[in-house]
Structure 1
Amino acid sequence: MTEVRVPTLGESVSEATVATWFKKPGDAVAADEMLCELETDKVTVEVPAPAAGVLAEIVAAEGETVGVNALLATINEAGAAAPAPQPKSEGAAAPQPAAQQSKEVKMTDVMVPALGESVSEATVSTWFKKVGDTVAQDEMLCELETDKVSVEVPSPVAGVLTEIVAPEGATVAASAKLAVVAEGAAGAVAAPAAAAPAAAPAPAAAPAGKDVEDAPAAKKAMAEAGLTPSQVTGTGRDGRIMKEDVAAAAAKAAAAPAVSIAPAPASAPRAPVSSDDAAREERVKMTRLRATIARRLKDAQNTAAMLTTYNEVDMSAIMALRNEYKDAFEKKHGVRMGFMSFFTKACCHALKEVPEVNAEIDGGDVVYKHYVHMGVAAGTPTGLVVPVIRDADQMSFADIEKAISEKGKRARDGKLTMAEMQGGTFTISNGGVYGSLMSSPILNPPQSGILGMHKIQDRPVVVNGQIVIRPMMYLALSYDHRIVDGKGAVTFLVRVKEALEDPRRLLLDL
């Protein structure tokens, strides 16, 4: 039998408090393995095992005050015959088998999933679970917002959510840690008492933010490191935060990008408001998607030499063609014939003649695209998104309509992936669905052109010397004047107008 005693605590220090026991009676211990931690007025003292063996008895429990050289515990050294259990009082439970006593709950980290090419961070928008909740494998834990899409994060294992590292509103880097799940803890917590009806179920590992007093040295270390208890994972009994936990959290924070709240785009200072007006206002934090839209649009204005040219198109021919064939088209292809396929085809046709509108600037080079990945802007409840129809120049009218319908539905449901919104070479934005008669669209960098569609409105126009009423639409082409000259922009818009007013030109490639 080997005794474990309080070591020398330092000059003028005569007593300490037992802060945490890392082992319990019956646990196997190795020589020099930490058994417990003592707290003095100024320092934390770790007590190692003087010999290998089995912890037989804890004499000084957590919270007790002990003097120098006081007996803390006893160890049955390795190889010694294990003594028969000697309960301290009647009714004391017999020691559990070592296999059961040493069984530990495995902690599994929940990480940010792959966000897509060139996407380096996201914002935690919603947590569906809270600390202490039981979760099933693949059950949704939280939702992240990136620049354009929402990403759901499932639980990698079944268990109990023990810690949330990144709260709602926090910006996290790709592959950053979001939370911790105690794997298998759900079964331990939810296990029916029928297995041992007379005994209370053992508590699961306490979640972060629990009502457990942390070690005094840990509190001091957290204050010095500028950390809060929610940012530190406690490894002590019942989730108690220890000094080394704080050191580990501080080192991790220094090595990884700090979790921070996504900054809102810069704006002019707000004018003062009266208290009466303030009481009738509602302040809502800008979502990451809205902040990103604001930043990208402002960047486009600051970076590109943006200019807009306008024209108008008579929609009579397209409307007549659509009215004549829409039923047959839908019956054969299973999708309605809209206007977007005509505009997409017309733009692809015009881009072949004016390739600089389908190009981008890369450093000191101009990259010309010999393909058309058409971005089609779509409004959703959370903001504007631009799904991309790849190789639109090689698609039929029916294929384009199907692609627009499918991606539009996925956009409204928030199911678009980052891959579906990357790589666009030109964009069409239809403000006419909201009743817009005229507007100047802003470029979608690094693209050099965007076409704005508007409301179809009956207007008097002169045709062959006669004033007639025709369904007219204003078109607006915004372009980057750094690589697109006025001649090219006007030519592009005229070719789009010609193709829409006489769709036969698309068939004849005129």
Structure 2
Amino acid sequence: MAVEVVMPKLGMSMKEGTVSVWNKQVGETVNKGESIASINSEKIEMEIESPAEGTVLEIKVPEGEGVPPGTVICYIGAGNEQGQEKKEGRGLPKKERKKISPVARKMANNANLDIDTLVGTGPDGRITKADVLQALPDQKEKQTQTQIQNNKTDHQPVNMMRKTIASRMMKSLQTSAQLTITMKADVTKLTKLQPQLNETAIARHDTKLTMTDFVAKAAILSLLEHPAMNSQYQNERVETFEYVHLGIAAALENGLAVPVIRHAERLSLIELAKTIKLYGKKAREGKLLHDEIEGSTFTITNLGAYGVEHFTPILNPPEAGILGVGKMYETPVYQGGELCKGHILPLSLTFDHRVLDGAPASAFLSTVKAYLEKPVSILL
């Protein structure tokens, strides 16, 4: 009997999921646990694994179409079986397609490459990531020539994740009174302490402590001292939380995810570092559940890896604050009356002026700065 594959419900708030890419086509064999499609919802993208071994009998939901959770998107069974819709004569026609890996398919789609024109060098002629990369220079040249000749602009459809980000950011700016303040933390002592701590952290816990881990811990401790920053403005009232559900923004290939570390105030520095890395990995692999990206009370976003120093983060509604971390840079500083090489970490805090004023917001940021400049206080 054919097995139904349904659109999963990834959280209580999920209303619709979209099939972004089919990794298997009608007539292709599939192993249990093998990825058959990529789906995206409002906030996340993930792979759907086959619940059984067999053949893809029928695809009911084409790429780019959104359906409610629980909707059958395809049937898998023995090669001589038929899906329910095919029995009724309304199934999608079988279409022969070249074999291509999920990563290669996504890259080709993003680059507007015609898969039928690609030559696969993988097993059984399967198109690989390397094949797509090989074809990109020629494709870019053709696109440039076509755009010059036709004077046309390339248009890319907006996926659900991008639409959700756009909607939330616009709502954030329109419904809150946002103000950004900046400070510079002298993390010279921290940069000297960090390698020493990492020797033990790697040896005992197989975990490397990053600057983001220290900033996150400093922010958590500061939120406990300044609870007004750990608040939300909703329904004309301010709700302040005793716990810290920390959001860590993670950049993805096609958008942004903010995994939420619940009760971060209970975690040691090592536990926090492990959790940040775990959630970052799940975000990049599209394995975050809706419940793991909801309910944050404060968010941290880091653009230091992109060379950005100070910037203006946009609040993650309905939170009252978001801390931006810039690129650390070297500069001369005085230590004990002597001029030496120091390390400065730029910090940008955006806060909701409806919840708190500039003075308490500055006090919070000053506390974060103090923890980073005296890193031993983070450990005690």
In the other structure, the counterpart of 1:319 is: 191
Tell me the distance in 2 between the aligned counterparts of 1:164 and 1:188. Answer: 14
Is the counterpart of residue 500 in structure 1 residue 342 in structure 2?
Answer: no
1:35-46 correspondence to structure 2 within 5 Å: none
In the other structure, the counterpart of 1:127 is: 22
5+ residue gaps in structure 2?
Answer: 95-145
Is the counterpart of residue 118 in structure 1 residue 13 in structure 2?
Answer: yes
- Structure 1 residues 502 and 210: alpha-carbon distance in aligned structure 2, compared to 1, 3 A threshold: closer
TM-score by length of 2: 0.76
1:344-423 correspondence to structure 2 within 5 Å: 344-423=216-295
Is the counterpart of residue 173 in structure 1 residue 56 in structure 2?
Answer: no
In the other structure, the counterpart of 2:213 is: 341
The answer to whether the Cα contact below 8 Å between 1:158 and 1:186 also exists between their aligned partners in 2 is no
- Structure 1 residues 464 and 293: alpha-carbon distance in aligned structure 2, compared to 1, 3 A threshold: same
- Structure 1 residues 337 and 481: alpha-carbon distance in aligned structure 2, compared to 1, 3 A threshold: same
The answer to whether the Cα contact below 8 Å between 2:178 and 2:352 also exists between their aligned partners in 1 is yes
Partner-residue secondary structure (3-state), 1:317: helix
Which AA in structure 2 matches 1:360?
Answer: Q
- Structure 1 residues 157 and 325: alpha-carbon distance in aligned structure 2, compared to 1, 3 A threshold: closer
Tell me the distance in 2 between the aligned counterparts of 1:290 and 1:280. Answer: 23
Tell me the distance in 2 between the aligned counterparts of 1:335 and 1:161. Answer: 41
In the other structure, the counterpart of 2:91 is: 208
Which AA in structure 2 matches 1:174?
Answer: P
- Structure 1 residues 439 and 187: alpha-carbon distance in aligned structure 2, compared to 1, 3 A threshold: same
The answer to whether the Cα contact below 8 Å between 1:146 and 1:288 also exists between their aligned partners in 2 is yes
Partner-residue secondary structure (3-state), 1:482: coil
- Structure 1 residues 397 and 155: alpha-carbon distance in aligned structure 2, compared to 1, 3 A threshold: closer
CA distances 1:208-256 after superposition (whole Å, capped 9, x unpaired): 2459xxxxxxxxxxxxxxxxxxxxxxxxxxxxxxxxxxxxxxxxxxxxx
Q: Percent identity?
A: 35
In the other structure, the counterpart of 1:297 is: 169
The answer to whether the Cα contact below 8 Å between 1:375 and 1:425 also exists between their aligned partners in 2 is yes
In the other structure, the counterpart of 1:186 is: 79
Whose helix proportion is higher, 1 or 2? 2
The structure showing larger relative contact order (alpha-carbon pairs under 8 Å, at least 6 residues apart) is 2
Tell me the distance in 1 between the aligned counterparts of 2:309 and 2:157. Answer: 31
Which AA in structure 2 matches 1:494?
Answer: S
Tell me the distance in 1 between the aligned counterparts of 2:92 and 2:176. Answer: 49
> Following TM superposition, by how much is the alpha carbon of 1:408 offset from its aligned partner in structure 2, in angstroms?
1.9
CA distances 1:452-494 after superposition (whole Å, capped 9, x unpaired): 0111112345667776542112110001111121111101001
1:66-85 correspondence to structure 2 within 5 Å: none
1:145-156 correspondence to structure 2 within 5 Å: 145-155=40-50
The answer to whether the Cα contact below 8 Å between 1:112 and 1:175 also exists between their aligned partners in 2 is yes
The answer to whether the Cα contact below 8 Å between 2:15 and 2:69 also exists between their aligned partners in 1 is yes
The answer to whether the Cα contact below 8 Å between 2:59 and 2:92 also exists between their aligned partners in 1 is no
The answer to whether the Cα contact below 8 Å between 1:137 and 1:154 also exists between their aligned partners in 2 is yes
5+ residue gaps in structure 1?
Answer: 1-105, 190-202, 212-273
> Following TM superposition, by how much is the alpha carbon of 1:369 offset from its aligned partner in structure 2, in angstroms?
1.1
Tell me the distance in 1 between the aligned counterparts of 2:147 and 2:254. Answer: 30
Partner-residue secondary structure (3-state), 2:79: helix
TM-score by length of 1: 0.58
The answer to whether the Cα contact below 8 Å between 2:47 and 2:287 also exists between their aligned partners in 1 is no
> Following TM superposition, by how much is the alpha carbon of 1:505 offset from its aligned partner in structure 2, in angstroms?
3.3
- Structure 1 residues 277 and 369: alpha-carbon distance in aligned structure 2, compared to 1, 3 A threshold: farther
- Structure 1 residues 432 and 137: alpha-carbon distance in aligned structure 2, compared to 1, 3 A threshold: closer
- Structure 1 residues 131 and 326: alpha-carbon distance in aligned structure 2, compared to 1, 3 A threshold: closer
Partner-residue secondary structure (3-state), 1:487: helix
> Following TM superposition, by how much is the alpha carbon of 1:358 offset from its aligned partner in structure 2, in angstroms?
0.8
Tell me the distance in 2 between the aligned counterparts of 1:325 and 1:108. Answer: 52
Partner-residue secondary structure (3-state), 1:470: strand
> Following TM superposition, by how much is the alpha carbon of 1:500 offset from its aligned partner in structure 2, in angstroms?
0.8
1:431 aligned residue (296, 303, 310): 303
CA distances 1:118-156 after superposition (whole Å, capped 9, x unpaired): 122222101223345555665543221012322333455
Which AA in structure 2 matches 1:422?
Answer: E
CA distances 1:161-192 after superposition (whole Å, capped 9, x unpaired): 5543322111222223424x2x7552459xxx
The answer to whether the Cα contact below 8 Å between 2:298 and 2:319 also exists between their aligned partners in 1 is yes
Partner-residue secondary structure (3-state), 1:276: helix
CA RMSD between the two structures = 3.0
- Structure 1 residues 207 and 428: alpha-carbon distance in aligned structure 2, compared to 1, 3 A threshold: same
> Following TM superposition, by how much is the alpha carbon of 1:422 offset from its aligned partner in structure 2, in angstroms?
1.8
CA distances 1:339-396 after superposition (whole Å, capped 9, x unpaired): 2222122111211222121111232332211111111112222322111222221211
The answer to whether the Cα contact below 8 Å between 1:127 and 1:141 also exists between their aligned partners in 2 is yes
In the other structure, the counterpart of 1:252 is: none
> Following TM superposition, by how much is the alpha carbon of 1:313 offset from its aligned partner in structure 2, in angstroms?
0.6
> Following TM superposition, by how much is the alpha carbon of 1:504 offset from its aligned partner in structure 2, in angstroms?
3.3
Partner-residue secondary structure (3-state), 1:438: coil
- Structure 1 residues 159 and 301: alpha-carbon distance in aligned structure 2, compared to 1, 3 A threshold: same
> Following TM superposition, by how much is the alpha carbon of 1:109 offset from its aligned partner in structure 2, in angstroms?
4.7
Which AA in structure 1 matches 2:9?
Answer: A
Tell me the distance in 2 between the aligned counterparts of 1:386 and 1:480. Answer: 19
Tell me the distance in 1 between the aligned counterparts of 2:52 and 2:208. Answer: 44
The answer to whether the Cα contact below 8 Å between 2:27 and 2:79 also exists between their aligned partners in 1 is no
Tell me the distance in 2 between the aligned counterparts of 1:349 and 1:188. Answer: 60
Tell me the distance in 1 between the aligned counterparts of 2:159 and 2:332. Answer: 44
Partner-residue secondary structure (3-state), 2:275: helix
